């Protein structure tokens, strides 16, 4: 997201409308830099997440739940002491920068009415959560900043709270117009960002784009352009109260990616509009949390896959080295043959035999072991030839086996990268265990409790059904259990991906395009604009010689080019 005052102002305005008058019923701290307030407002419970994570500072509502630490941190106990059962009075921006104040009416230990402000500073690595009393003094903070020559201010209990220092202009100040008018060439975006505080680069570029001013290399601005830029900045600064306000989120690879107060047209992204910025934030955050949880749950699978891949890569490299070492093995047979043909001319103790190669009529110098007789030297060459011949046969087989295994592991890696829920991870885990890449269950009770492979997804289109396998276990079911010989079968061309089957030999163009789009989406080619997808009848699909789960070869196919399409 554009982490700036524009987005945060819209978020705080919506939170104020939704939560004002609400009661804080619960406070938790699931992460060391994240606090969650459960607020009862408007007859419903709302979970407000306040994160001071330096890499992703944020303020939003959520429906997700996180586990809490066994022992409550001291800052959490302080929050509970001062905020629990308090009433939200107001949520607003403070000081024209990325600082939000949450005013709370609470009671002291003596049940006296008091006012507390929870100040949220969302400023990258300087992010913090601070509790301030009604007189403006800090009672505690998530991160303490002691007095230091390198610090512009201190954050410690009993000190007067001061807003973060800001030497830039407020977007709504009177001096802004004069600053814009003083521009005299160069990169206009950088010039404005260096003097006007609180804006992200992408936000300022969008403002200039909508004003019709080149954001990269504009000449001196005219009076009309100065006025237009000033109005554009002021308008977006208070975007939630204008007709331009159109909360939305962008989509990347079919997954929610970032949220915006309105579509940033200059970025050329795909946007989906929402009813509020809070909804857009939650959708994006859920997608990121889901991805984070999948990454966490897939760590063991990734490690097993990485270990197996390295093992086969080493084996493949070793086998290829042996092939290189033995590439001249036929020369050894020739040497033995020439020594045998010239045995009468040779004597023991010679280090070399110079003989004529009767195949080419050229002389050949053959190294000899002087401790062996000529006949023994010839036999030694025959033995070396036979050994290297066997080595080549074995090494060639090993190369084929390692290449097939790496191709198979590549298909698992693709399924793992495209996995969307825990069930799909379970399928991949079962497959790795079945292939000997992870520890198999040994206990009889464990075997009984072992999960079953999830069935492929089925989509009804008109009178036909499309079956989609998202990993090798499901691909196996689609191709060799569900699909009949006359069904249409699809797979992305020359890449790892999903097996898709249509329960008819003659699908309509619409059905074929949809099935091909799904096959492209669940493949290595998801991010491509146009993907080649092969389709044929199931009877032309056979198991791969390696017999690996979900690996096939097929013939008699045609190809269609499609744009990847999500199954949803």
Distance CA 280, CA 277 (A): 5
Do 316 and 268 lie in one domain? The reply is no
Do 237 and 316 lie in one domain? The reply is no
- Tell me what pLDDT residue 442 has: 57
Distance CA 429, CA 19 (A): 44
Do 192 and 270 lie in one domain? The reply is yes
Closest CA to 427 of 435, 281, 357: 435
User: 500 — phi, psi (to 5°)?
Assistant: -125, 135
Distance CA 351, CA 345 (A): 14
Kindly state the tokens that stand for 424. Answer: 């799909």
In this structure, what is the dihedral angle of CA atoms 353, 359, 361, 367, given to the nearest 10 degrees? -20
Q: Is residue 244 within 8 Å of 303, Cβ to Cβ? A: no
Distance CA 98, CA 168 (A): 13
Distance CA 220, CA 109 (A): 62
| Coil, strand or helix at 45 | strand
Closest CA to 347 of 375, 319, 327: 375
Q: Domain boundary at 274, 290, 323, which? A: 274
Do 396 and 319 lie in one domain? The reply is yes
Do 364 and 466 lie in one domain? The reply is no
pLDDT in tens, the chain (568 residues): 557 888 998 999 999 999 999 999 999 998 889 999 999 999 999 999 999 988 888 899 988 777 788 788 999 999 999 999 999 999 998 877 889 999 999 988 777 889 999 999 998 888 999 999 999 999 999 999 888 766 778 999 999 999 888 888 888 888 888 998 888 888 888 899 999 888 889 999 999 988 888 655 557 788 888 899 999 988 888 888 888 899 999 988 778 888 999 999 988 889 999 999 999 988 888 777 777 767 777 888 989 999 999 999 999 999 999 999 999 999 999 999 999 999 988 889 999 999 999 999 999 999 999 999 999 999 999 999 999 999 999 999 999 999 999 999 999 999 888 887 778 888 888 888 888 888 775 555 555 455 567 889 999 888 899 999 999 999 999 999 999 999 999 999 999 999 999 999 999 999 999 999 999 999 999 888 899 999 999 999 999 998 888 999 999 999 999 999 887 6
In a domain, 225, yes or no: yes
Distance CA 114, CA 81 (A): 13
Q: Is 361 left (phi over 0), alpha (psi -120 to 50) or beta?
A: left
Number of domains the chain contains? 4
Do 268 and 321 lie in one domain? The reply is no
Q: Domain boundary at 141, 165, 200, which? A: 141
Residue with tokens 């080295």: 321
In a domain, 230, yes or no: yes
Supply the range of the domain harboring residue 396: 303-415
Distance CA 277, CA 262 (A): 9
Ranges of H-type helices in 470-525: 472-477, 509-521
In a domain, 423, yes or no: no
Kindly state the tokens that stand for 404. Answer: 């097939």
DSSP 260: E
CA distances from residue 433 to 305, 442, 443 in whole angstroms, order as listed: 11, 11, 14
Q: How many CA atoms lie within 13 A of 257 on its CB side?
A: 10
In a domain, 422, yes or no: no
Do 122 and 9 lie in one domain? The reply is yes
Kindly state the tokens that stand for 546. Answer: 């390696």
Closest CA to 385 of 330, 448, 430: 330
Do 519 and 392 lie in one domain? The reply is no
In a domain, 148, yes or no: no
User: 373 — phi, psi (to 5°)?
Assistant: -75, 160
Q: Is residue 213 within 8 Å of 188, Cβ to Cβ? A: yes
Distance CA 386, CA 380 (A): 10
CA distances from residue 209 to 189, 192, 216, 267, 277 in whole angstroms, order as listed: 10, 14, 10, 10, 22
Residue 265, number of CB atoms within 10 A of its CB:
11
Kindly state the tokens that stand for 551. Answer: 């690996």
Do 382 and 487 lie in one domain? The reply is no
DSSP 234: H
- Tell me what pLDDT residue 217 has: 58
Q: Domain boundary at 383, 415, 447, which? A: 415
Kindly state the tokens that stand for 157. Answer: 């209990």
Distance CA 104, CA 22 (A): 10
Residues 6+ away with beta carbon under 8 Å from 194: 168
Closest CA to 82 of 32, 119, 28, 132: 132
Q: Is residue 60 within 8 Å of 46, Cβ to Cβ? A: no
- Tell me what pLDDT residue 514 has: 93
Distance CA 173, CA 536 (A): 67
In a domain, 294, yes or no: no
Distance CA 563, CA 69 (A): 45
Distance CA 235, CA 443 (A): 67
User: 256 — phi, psi (to 5°)?
Assistant: -55, 135
DSSP 451: P
Kindly state the tokens that stand for 533. Answer: 């997808």
- Tell me what pLDDT residue 511 has: 92
Q: Is residue 143 within 8 Å of 131, Cβ to Cβ? A: no
Do 349 and 472 lie in one domain? The reply is no
Strand partners, 121: 99, 128
DSSP 452: P
In a domain, 315, yes or no: yes
Do 216 and 110 lie in one domain? The reply is no
Kindly state the tokens that stand for 300. Answer: 């063991």
Do 23 and 127 lie in one domain? The reply is yes
In a domain, 284, yes or no: no
Distance CA 219, CA 213 (A): 10
């Amino acid at each position: 997201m554009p982490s700036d005052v524009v987005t945060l102002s819209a978020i705080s305005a919506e939170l104020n409308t939704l939560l004002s008058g609400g009661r804080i019923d619960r406070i938790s701290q699931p992460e060391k830099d994240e606090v969650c307030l459960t607020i009862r407002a408007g007859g419903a419970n709302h979970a407000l997440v306040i994160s001071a994570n330096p890499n992703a500072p944020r303020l939003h509502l959520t429906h997700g739940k996180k586990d809490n630490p066994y022992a409550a941190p001291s800052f959490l106990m302080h929050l509970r002491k001062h905020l629990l059962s308090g009433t939200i009075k107001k949520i607003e921006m403070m000081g024209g920068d990325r600082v939000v104040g949450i005013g709370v009416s609470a009671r002291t230990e003596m049940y006296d009415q008091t006012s507390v402000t929870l100040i949220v500073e969302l400023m990258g690595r300087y992010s913090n959560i601070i509790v301030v009393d009604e007189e403006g003094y800090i009672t505690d903070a998530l991160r303490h900043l002691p007095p230091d020559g390198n610090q512009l201010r201190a954050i410690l209990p009993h000190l007067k709270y001061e807003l973060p220092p800001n030497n830039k202009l407020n977007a709504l100040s009177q001096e802004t117009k004069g600053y814009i008018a003083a521009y005299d060439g160069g990169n206009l975006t950088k010039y404005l960002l260096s003097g006007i505080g609180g804006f992200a680069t992408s936000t300022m570029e969008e403002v200039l784009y909508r004003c019709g001013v080149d954001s990269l290399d504009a000449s001196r601005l005219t009076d009309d352009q100065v006025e237009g830029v000033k109005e554009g900045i002021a308008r977006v600064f208070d975007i939630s109260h204008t007709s331009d306000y159109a909360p939305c989120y962008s989509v990347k690879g079919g997954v929610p990616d970032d949220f915006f107060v309105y579509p940033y047209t200059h970025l050329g992204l795909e946007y989906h509009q929402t009813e509020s910025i809070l909804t857009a934030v939650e959708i994006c955050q859920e997608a990121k949390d889901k991805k984070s949880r999948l990454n966490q749950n897939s760590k063991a699978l990734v490690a097993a896959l990485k270990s197996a891949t390295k093992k086969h890569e080493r084996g493949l490299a070793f086998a290829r080295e042996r092939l290189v070492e033995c590439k001249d093995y036929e020369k050894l047979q020739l040497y033995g043959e020439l020594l045998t043909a010239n045995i009468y001319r040779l004597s023991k103790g010679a280090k070399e035999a110079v003989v004529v190669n009767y195949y080419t009529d050229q002389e050949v110098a053959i190294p000899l072991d002087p401790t062996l007789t000529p006949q023994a030297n010839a036999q030694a060459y025959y033995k070396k030839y036979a050994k290297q011949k066997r080595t080549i046969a074995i090494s060639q087989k090993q190369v084929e086996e390692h290449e097939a295994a790496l191709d198979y592991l590549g298909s698992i890696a693709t399924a793992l990268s495209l996995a969307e829920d825990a069930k799909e991870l379970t399928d991949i885990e079962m497959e790795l265990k079945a292939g000997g890449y992870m520890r198999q269950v040994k206990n009889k009770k464990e075997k009984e409790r072992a999960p079953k492979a999830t069935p492929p997804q089925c989509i009804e289109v008109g009178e036909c059904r499309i079956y989609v396998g998202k990993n090798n276990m499901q691909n196996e079911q689609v191709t060799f259990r569900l699909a009949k010989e006359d069904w249409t079968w699809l797979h992305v061309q020359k890449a790892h991906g999903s097996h898709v089957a249509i329960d008819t030999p003659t699908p309509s163009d619409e059905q074929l395009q949809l099935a091909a789009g799904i096959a492209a989406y669940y493949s290595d080619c998801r991010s491509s604009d146009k993907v080649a997808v092969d389709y044929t009848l199931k009877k032309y699909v056979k198991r791969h010689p390696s017999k690996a789960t979900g690996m096939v070869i097929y013939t008699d196919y045609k190809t269609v080019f499609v744009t990847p399409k999500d199954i949803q």
